[in-house]
Structure 1
Amino acid sequence: MASAYNQPLTVPMMPLTSDVSIPQLGFGLYKVPGDEAEAIVGQALQTGYRHLDSAALYGNEAGVGRALRAAFDGGLAREDLFVTSKVWNDDQGYDSTLRAFEKTRADLGLEHLDLYLIHWPCPERGLYRETYRALERLHDDGLVRAIGVSNFQPAHLQDLLESADVVPAVNQVELHPWLQQRELREEHAELGIATEAWSPLARGRLLDDPELMRIAAKHGVTVAQVVVRWHLQESNIVFPKASAPERMAQNADVFGFALDADDLHAIPALDRGFRSGSHPDDVN
């Protein structure tokens, strides 16, 4: 009898380090309720997603862990999964980061994580350098395959790199057609940091954008599919969130078409600096 997990999505892999690659398309777990996480993650894995983006803040990692255990019991191999988590602001600091990681690892039921990030720089706390030093320790100990940051601005990155031994593999930031972060992405390219996009659909706000609707109609797809496809063609790592099975499948059905030169010329003009979430300078 075939396993429910035998049909992974065919997703491009992006190299993060010399020996770690990440699926460019994943499944986001922000605002997935803890009591629904097991069922939703289980459905995502059965749909074919193999990249899960979580965080301690989301309060659902125990449910995610139950879904993972069920998947492993059902024949899914750990090495076929890519799992990310993030250390929350209140746990920044060397020792507290190590403790927070152990809780996340226990909740997820995993011996190691594939990627562990600092969730926000919180510059007024002045702790992200020692927090990152803890991430480097976890990396050295083989408990995390790759480490990185989230919501870091260019100044934060430059300051961190003055003391870091390991260049962050990724920086996960809010990124979508209304907030394209060109300067930051240029900085990433120069430093060899991969760009991950959270809120890739601006929390649904851009689904009624007339230009994106026009492009979607031209290709016979949805606006969400256009935006996910744009992220992929921009070499961003992207993980839209969905609860309904049909929406999970639809968000992943983005490899049967490609945006053309006219589309890729039109979308940059949509940038309006709109943030659906907080600005990193305002989070401490």
Structure 2
Amino acid sequence: MEKVKLNNGLAMPQVGLGVWKVPLDVTAKMVATAVENDYTLIDTAKQYGNEQGVGQGIAAGLAATGKSRDDLFLTTKIFNGDQGDYDRVRNAVNQQLAALQTDYVDLLLLHWPVFNRYNTSWKALEDIYRDGQAKAIGVCNFNVDHLTNLLDHAEIKPMVNQIEFNPRIHQPDTVAFCQGQHIQLEAWSPLGNGQLLDNPVINKIAKAKGKSPAQVELRWEIQQGFVVIPKSTHVARMKENADIFDFSLDADEMEEIAMLDEEKHSIWYQKFRWSGNPDGVDDYIAKPGAY
């Protein structure tokens, strides 16, 4: 597994396992299977309602393989309803670490740029980082305006920005800004909810390379320097998603895939997007695990 180096020097695997919308009772087996098949990056969040299952799965996977916690790269995120109060963020992280059965996470992210809350939340993350409860800190779904505002108030620059990125949506302004600031980009929904797996351009390239359409999409992203976190509960698919380092796409193939851009978020993005309401009345702010 190839790695990228974050702006604090920490090495981060370039392919990992996402667990969004995976039920709690399925998560433990899924994560254990991933660890047993050499996945090291696991990405979860309090919002997903399955951190406990991730912790159980990691424990089982480590026991089965003889690996140690330090062999893994674990990411979780600050729930929107916990944002905006320093002590609430710190207390929430302590509870999340307990659920994950660990003393630290490798990466802790603000899940969304909640209006009037994220700068205060970031101060808590800076101290969490200084105290060693997180080896790296970053954000999710921050655009250029959010990042500019955060950098105006921050003492520590975010190390990662996790955004929706796949052949259908490129967010070029955010990507360029992060690259200029040496903030590592990480793609959630790197397969675009499967909407391009039947696309003739993707399939033509896949056939030429002897790879699957999913492998071609993921390769297109990692060649641009992204970290990717595809989700699968099936071991064969997990192995396939990680097997993308033995081929490359040429410039023409990269451009053909880039031309598929529609700059449209996934159909469920609006439900979870940043709320402009500082009172956070939306269900996704109020209820962890509510999809």
For normalisation by structure 1, the TM-score amounts to 0.92
Q: Is the 8 A contact 1:197 1:238 kept in 2?
A: yes
Note the 1:8-19 alignment, pairs <5 A. Answer: 11-19=1-9
The answer on whether the counterparts of 1:120 and 1:283 sit within 8 Å (CA) in structure 2 is: no
Given candidates 95, 101, 105, the residue that maps to 1:109 is: 101
Structure 2 gaps of 5+ residues are 278-291
User: Aligned partners of 1:45 and 1:63: how far apart in 2?
Assistant: 13
User: Is the partner of 1:190 in helix, strand or coil?
Assistant: helix
CA offset at residue 264 of structure 1?
1.1
| In 2, Cα distance between equivalents of 1:235 and 1:101 | 29
* Aligned equivalents of 1:81, 1:257: Cα separation in 2: 25
Partner-residue secondary structure (3-state), 2:219? helix
Distance 1:174 1:128 in 2: 19
Post-superposition CA distance 1:26-57 (Å, at most 9, x none): 11111111001111101111111000011001
CA distance in 1 between counterparts of 2:88 and 2:198 reads 43
Shift of 1:283: 6.9
Tell me the SS of whatever aligns to 2:196. helix
Deviations 1:145-198 (A, max 9, x none): 110000001000000111100000000000000101111110001111000000
Counterparts of 2:30 and 2:61 in 1: how far apart (Å)? 12
Aligned-residue offset at 1:18: 3.5
Distance 1:188 1:77 in 2: 32
- Aligned-partner SS, 1:259: coil
Work out the CA distance in 2 between the residues paired with 1:40 and 1:180. 29
CA distance in 2, matches of 1:155, 1:266: 30
Distance 1:281 1:110, change over 3 A: closer
- 1:4 is matched with none
- Match among 45, 51, 55 for residue 41 of structure 2: 51
The reply to whether residue 225 of structure 1 matches residue 241 of structure 2 is no
Structure 1 counterpart of 2:235: 245
Please give the per-residue CA displacement for 1:73-98, whole angstroms capped at 9, x wherever unaligned. Answer: 33111111000000111110211111
Give the 5 Å matches for 1:200-211: 200-211=190-201
Residues 1-284 of structure 1: pairs in structure 2 closer than 5 A: 11-74=1-64, 75-93=66-84, 94-123=86-115, 126-276=116-266, 277-278=268-269, 280-281=273-274
Q: Is the 8 A contact 1:17 1:146 kept in 2?
A: no
Give the whole-Å Cα distance in 2 for the aligned partners of 1:171 and 1:18: 14
> Contact 2:31–2:54 (CA<8 Å) still a contact in 1?
yes
> Can you give the 5+ residue segments of structure 1 that lack an aligned partner in the other structure?
1-10
How many pairs were matched up?
A: 272
- The root-mean-square deviation of aligned C-alpha atoms, in Å, is 1.3
Tell me the distance in 1 between the aligned counterparts of 2:276 and 2:210.
Answer: 40
Q: Contact 2:7 / 2:182 at 8 angstroms: preserved in 1?
A: no
Partners of 1:82 and 1:241 in 2: CA distance: 16
Cα distance, 1:17 vs. partner? 3.1
Confirm or deny: 8 A CA contact 2:35 2:62 kept in the other structure: no
Shift of 1:282: 5.2
Q: Identity across aligned pairs (percent)?
A: 40
